[in-house]
Protein backbone atom coordinates (compact mmCIF):
# COMPACT_ATOMS: atom_id res chain seq x y z
CA UNK A 1 0.00 0.00 0.00
CA UNK A 2 1.34 3.41 -0.95
CA UNK A 3 1.23 5.80 1.98
CA UNK A 4 1.43 9.60 1.72
CA UNK A 5 5.00 9.34 3.07
CA UNK A 6 5.88 6.91 0.26
CA UNK A 7 4.31 9.26 -2.29
CA UNK A 8 6.46 12.14 -0.98
CA UNK A 9 9.56 9.94 -1.13
CA UNK A 10 8.69 8.86 -4.67
CA UNK A 11 8.52 12.55 -5.62
CA UNK A 12 11.95 13.12 -4.04
CA UNK A 13 13.41 10.15 -5.92
CA UNK A 14 11.92 11.41 -9.19
CA UNK A 15 13.46 14.82 -8.55
CA UNK A 16 16.83 13.20 -7.79
CA UNK A 17 16.57 11.14 -10.98
CA UNK A 18 15.99 14.34 -12.98
CA UNK A 19 19.14 15.77 -11.38
CA UNK A 20 21.07 12.65 -12.40
CA UNK A 21 19.78 12.99 -15.97
CA UNK A 22 20.86 16.65 -15.93
CA UNK A 23 24.31 15.62 -14.71
CA UNK A 24 24.53 13.09 -17.54
CA UNK A 25 23.36 15.63 -20.14
CA UNK A 26 25.77 18.30 -18.88
CA UNK A 27 28.61 15.79 -18.84
CA UNK A 28 27.85 14.67 -22.38
CA UNK A 29 27.87 18.29 -23.56
CA UNK A 30 31.10 19.08 -21.71
CA UNK A 31 32.74 15.98 -23.19
CA UNK A 32 31.70 17.16 -26.65
CA UNK A 33 29.50 14.14 -27.31
CA UNK A 34 27.16 14.92 -30.18
CA UNK A 35 24.46 12.77 -31.70
CA UNK A 36 24.16 10.25 -28.85
CA UNK A 37 21.04 9.99 -26.70
CA UNK A 38 21.08 9.14 -22.99
CA UNK A 39 19.85 5.56 -23.69
CA UNK A 40 22.57 5.14 -26.31
CA UNK A 41 25.16 6.36 -23.81
CA UNK A 42 23.79 3.87 -21.26
CA UNK A 43 24.47 1.11 -23.78
CA UNK A 44 28.04 2.31 -24.33
CA UNK A 45 28.59 2.62 -20.58
CA UNK A 46 27.16 -0.84 -19.95
CA UNK A 47 29.35 -2.42 -22.64
CA UNK A 48 32.35 -0.51 -21.27
CA UNK A 49 31.69 -2.11 -17.89
CA UNK A 50 31.58 -5.65 -19.27
CA UNK A 51 28.15 -6.44 -20.71
CA UNK A 52 28.86 -8.02 -24.08
CA UNK A 53 25.60 -9.76 -25.02
CA UNK A 54 22.95 -7.91 -27.04
CA UNK A 55 20.23 -9.80 -25.14
CA UNK A 56 21.54 -8.46 -21.82
CA UNK A 57 21.56 -4.92 -23.18
CA UNK A 58 17.98 -5.40 -24.44
CA UNK A 59 16.89 -6.59 -20.98
CA UNK A 60 18.56 -3.59 -19.36
CA UNK A 61 16.61 -1.21 -21.58
CA UNK A 62 13.50 -3.41 -21.62
CA UNK A 63 13.34 -3.42 -25.42
CA UNK A 64 12.79 -6.15 -27.97
CA UNK A 65 15.67 -7.91 -29.79
CA UNK A 66 14.80 -6.18 -33.10
CA UNK A 67 14.83 -2.78 -31.39
CA UNK A 68 18.20 -3.40 -29.73
CA UNK A 69 19.63 -4.66 -33.03
CA UNK A 70 18.65 -1.38 -34.68
CA UNK A 71 20.18 0.71 -31.84
CA UNK A 72 23.40 -1.34 -31.82
CA UNK A 73 23.67 -1.02 -35.60
CA UNK A 74 23.32 2.74 -35.30
CA UNK A 75 26.06 2.92 -32.64
CA UNK A 76 28.25 0.70 -34.80
CA UNK A 77 27.71 2.94 -37.84
CA UNK A 78 28.61 5.96 -35.70
CA UNK A 79 31.95 4.31 -34.88
CA UNK A 80 31.38 3.73 -31.15
CA UNK A 81 30.60 0.03 -31.04
CA UNK A 82 31.78 -3.20 -32.65
CA UNK A 83 29.85 -6.41 -32.98
CA UNK A 84 31.66 -9.67 -33.52
CA UNK A 85 31.47 -13.39 -32.87
CA UNK A 86 33.17 -15.58 -30.30
CA UNK A 87 35.69 -18.11 -31.52
CA UNK A 88 33.98 -20.89 -29.60
CA UNK A 89 30.48 -20.18 -30.97
CA UNK A 90 30.25 -18.27 -34.25
CA UNK A 91 26.50 -17.85 -33.72
CA UNK A 92 26.98 -15.79 -30.56
CA UNK A 93 27.33 -12.06 -31.13
CA UNK A 94 29.52 -10.14 -28.69
CA UNK A 95 29.73 -6.40 -28.22
CA UNK A 96 32.79 -4.28 -27.72
CA UNK A 97 33.61 -0.60 -27.85
CA UNK A 98 35.90 0.99 -30.35
CA UNK A 99 38.63 3.28 -29.00
CA UNK A 100 36.32 6.19 -29.82
CA UNK A 101 33.51 4.57 -27.83
CA UNK A 102 35.80 3.94 -24.86
CA UNK A 103 37.05 7.52 -25.00
CA UNK A 104 33.48 8.87 -24.97
CA UNK A 105 32.56 6.79 -21.92
CA UNK A 106 35.73 7.80 -20.05
CA UNK A 107 35.26 11.51 -20.80
CA UNK A 108 31.58 11.59 -19.89
CA UNK A 109 32.08 9.60 -16.69
CA UNK A 110 35.00 11.83 -15.67
CA UNK A 111 32.70 14.85 -15.93
CA UNK A 112 29.93 12.99 -14.10
CA UNK A 113 32.28 12.12 -11.24
CA UNK A 114 33.52 15.71 -11.04
CA UNK A 115 29.96 17.05 -10.78
CA UNK A 116 28.94 14.39 -8.26
CA UNK A 117 32.03 15.19 -6.21
CA UNK A 118 31.04 18.86 -6.10
CA UNK A 119 27.54 17.91 -4.98
CA UNK A 120 28.93 15.66 -2.23
CA UNK A 121 31.33 18.41 -1.14
CA UNK A 122 28.25 20.49 -0.30
CA UNK A 123 26.94 17.81 2.09
CA UNK A 124 27.82 17.01 5.69
CA UNK A 125 29.62 13.75 6.54
CA UNK A 126 26.54 12.32 8.29
CA UNK A 127 24.37 13.11 5.27
CA UNK A 128 26.86 11.40 2.98
CA UNK A 129 26.84 8.27 5.19
CA UNK A 130 23.04 8.22 5.21
CA UNK A 131 22.96 8.64 1.45
CA UNK A 132 25.45 5.82 0.96
CA UNK A 133 23.43 3.38 3.07
CA UNK A 134 20.16 4.44 1.45
CA UNK A 135 21.59 4.04 -2.07
CA UNK A 136 22.87 0.56 -1.29
CA UNK A 137 19.45 -0.46 0.05
CA UNK A 138 17.69 1.17 -2.92
CA UNK A 139 19.99 -0.54 -5.45
CA UNK A 140 19.66 -3.92 -3.74
CA UNK A 141 15.87 -3.61 -3.73
CA UNK A 142 15.87 -2.75 -7.45
CA UNK A 143 18.12 -5.69 -8.33
CA UNK A 144 15.91 -8.02 -6.29
CA UNK A 145 12.79 -6.70 -8.04
CA UNK A 146 14.34 -7.30 -11.47
CA UNK A 147 15.42 -10.82 -10.49
CA UNK A 148 11.88 -11.59 -9.28
CA UNK A 149 10.43 -10.26 -12.52
CA UNK A 150 12.81 -12.45 -14.56
CA UNK A 151 11.91 -15.50 -12.47
CA UNK A 152 8.20 -14.93 -13.06
CA UNK A 153 8.77 -14.34 -16.78
CA UNK A 154 10.82 -17.54 -17.09
CA UNK A 155 8.37 -19.66 -15.10
The pTM of the full predicted model, rounded to 2 decimals, is 0.85
Calpha distance 117→1 (Å, rounded): 36
What is the CATH topology of the domain spanning 21-123? Arc Repressor Mutant, subunit A (1.10.10)
pLDDT value at 146 more than 90: no
Chain centroid, CA 107 distance in Å: 15
Of 108, 144, 93, 116, nearest to 33 (Cα)? Answer: 108
Q: Write the pLDDT tens digit of every residue in 74-120.
A: 999 999 999 998 777 777 889 999 999 999 999 999 999 999 999 99
Domain positions in the chain:
21-123
Q: For 45-65, what is each residue's pLDDT tens digit?
A: 999 999 999 999 998 888 888
Amino acid sequence: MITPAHRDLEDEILFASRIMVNILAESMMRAGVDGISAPQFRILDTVYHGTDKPADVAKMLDVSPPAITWILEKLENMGFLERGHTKSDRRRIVLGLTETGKDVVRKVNTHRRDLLGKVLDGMKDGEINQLEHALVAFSDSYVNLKEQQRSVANA
